[in-house]
Chain A
Amino acid sequence: MDLSDLSAAAIAREIGAGRLSAREITEATLARVDAVEPQVGSYLSVLHEIARETAARVDERIRGGETLPLAGVPLAVKDNMCLRGTRTTCASKILESWVAPYTATAVARMLEAGCVPIGKSNCDEFAMGSSCENSALGVTRNPYDLSRVPGGSSGGSAAAVAAYEAAIGLGSDTGGSIREPGAFCNLVGFKPTYGRVSRYGLVAFASSLDQIGPLARSVEDAALAYDVMAGHDPMDATSIDRPVEAAAGALPTDLRGLRIGLVREFETKGSGTELDAIYRRAYNDLEKLGAVLVDVSLPTADYGVATYYLIAPAECSSNLARFHGVRYGLRVDAPDVRAMYDRTRAAGFGPEVKRRILIGTYALSSGYYDAYYVRAQKARTLIARDFAEAFAACDAIACPAASCPAFEFNAKSDPYSMYLMDYYTIPMALAGLPALSVPCGWATPEGGEVPMPVGLQLCAPLFAERLLLGAAHAYEQATQHARARKPAIAQLEARS
């Protein structure tokens, strides 16, 4: 048995039954990390010591008779989430040496459930990007083709799980930052309903959109993580106080009676014939599993990217005002406070973060506020209404998770071409809906040598996580696309 290949569900089961220890899994995972990190670069910090200490405590708790839903499961934590005593950088120079003095609620719940934190994973700086290339502190490569990006912004967590350097990765999704890297790395990437998982301890990017969720190698593992993390937290005033129906225990294997909407406006988006064929086959497979396919319309979804690139930067310009060198993080000394702010922020933020702060500041500034920010908020209303109308006719929506498979480094030098990567994921984020990507096939990108994973996106009404995970599970179990290929990393191939 190769320990680091095990699913989170299997690890927890084996450890719970006393057939395996958290120590053994942790050592196997750390050995894998040490072997593949020079090629993949998933982590900004590897937590050898904390992982071993945590594993020892998990084994003690198991010996003491506790039942832990995620006993010994190796966890990758995106580096924009606080874990007490660890560097939490947001992949930014401005927080390069900042050590979190407390632990995020979502992370704390995963640890309480038995997870072992293996490392803090790379991401686009302050979660702004779709490829991890905006990290100021490291390069992460796609384990399926090292010349390609892992997606972003949660690309480090995705690469870690894909390369068996963790069984579950925590990501945050603002406009697609869990779902797109999930699609790029052959994973399930799940963004719950806005407010389902506490944002306490997640460094804020766009507070009305940010949501934490899992990246995993199966729907069941993602559901296990969701069940542990979801639920009200008094430390986050926007966290939702309503009961969470556990999803992991009751995942269906067919889709009988489920109405799945196909979005008319997404039909002609010309993703290329090979991709079109993959998605057509995916929709047919949903039908074969008992779903009824219905035609739905999201007329305003096409304005999603424009809406998002006003609202998210506006919120970011406000949230990132706190980084100015007074209380923590980088400070560039200057004779007066004003110059200290200006120089600290100039030196500490990378180009994409500066661009977004500038566009957000502009959109919120006097004279432009109504024309840009308020208009975008109104467009957001229309987008949410579109979904509400669509869900009157269907129970879930199926569409692509990304515009294309993982691309090569430096392929998107124009900022707007990168923004378009999230064309299919942004509308759901603006509407606050739960959505996930699940592997649906393999396509060889133009100029590429190996087939890369392709993700199907499923989206459900607010709070319908259980239905969503169930549909994804039925599809995953019937098709098994994720298992068709293994990552291209040398160590993994030598082993098999």
Chain B
Amino acid sequence: MPADAIDIRYVAELARIALTDDEVERFGKQLGDLLEHVNALSELDTASVPATAQVIESRNVSREDRLQPCLDREVVLAQAPQRQGGFFRVPRIIAE
């Protein structure tokens, strides 16, 4: 398993969480400690073992494509932090 220290700022960027300097230091150390513990998994011989994503026998589930009642638009938009007409309002995404 890789032993390099976590680049916590990069990971936080991927996770879309702004961290304070204090958090970078604290989480960096705590996650480093956790990785040391989980590195124990390298003791297991898993070369010929298939990965388990989900324990119960599963299959694709499909249903007829029929129109069904769904949440009312007003009910959903009532929870929006900001709305405009029938839309969620967000800061500009595409540059002018």
Contacts and interface: CB of A to CB of B under 8 A. Distances in A.
A462 B55 CA distance: 10
Interface string A193-211: 1110000000000001000
Contacts of A349: 17
Given A300-B44, A328-B81, A342-B17, A432 B56 contact: yes
Q: Is the interface of A mostly helix, strand, loop or mixed?
A: helix
Contacts of B38: 306-307, 309-310, 372, 376
Contacts of A98: 79
Choose among B11, B12, B16 the residue with the greatest number of A CB atoms under 10 Å from its CB: B16
A258 interface: no
B50 to A, nearest CB: 6
A462 B56 CA distance: 9
A384 B79 contact: no
A368 B46 CA distance: 16
A379 B18 contact: no
Contacts, number: 165
A99 B56 CA distance: 33
Interface in B1-44: 1-2, 6, 8, 11-12, 14-19, 23, 27, 30-31, 33-35, 37-44
Interface string B52-67: 1111101001010000
Given A337-B93, A416-B37, A194 B55 contact: yes
Contacts of B79: 98-99, 101, 327-329
Contact of B80 (A234, A328, A338, A432): A328
Identify the 9 closest CB pairs spanning chains A and B, nearest first: A432-B55, A331-B81, A377-B51, A378-B46, A342-B18, A346-B18, A328-B79, A361-B15, A381-B52
Interface of A: 98-99, 101-102, 193-195, 208, 234, 237-238, 240, 300, 303, 305-307, 309-310, 317, 321, 324-331, 333-343, 345-346, 349, 351, 354-355, 357-359, 361-362, 365, 367-368, 371-372, 374-382, 384, 414-416, 430-432, 462
Given A378-B49, A379-B44, 9 more contacts: A240-B56, A303-B41, A303-B43, A326-B88, A331-B81, A342-B18, A362-B31, A376-B38, A379-B46
Interface of B: 1-2, 6, 8, 11-12, 14-19, 23, 27, 30-31, 33-35, 37-44, 46, 49-56, 58, 61, 63, 71, 75-76, 79-82, 88, 90-93
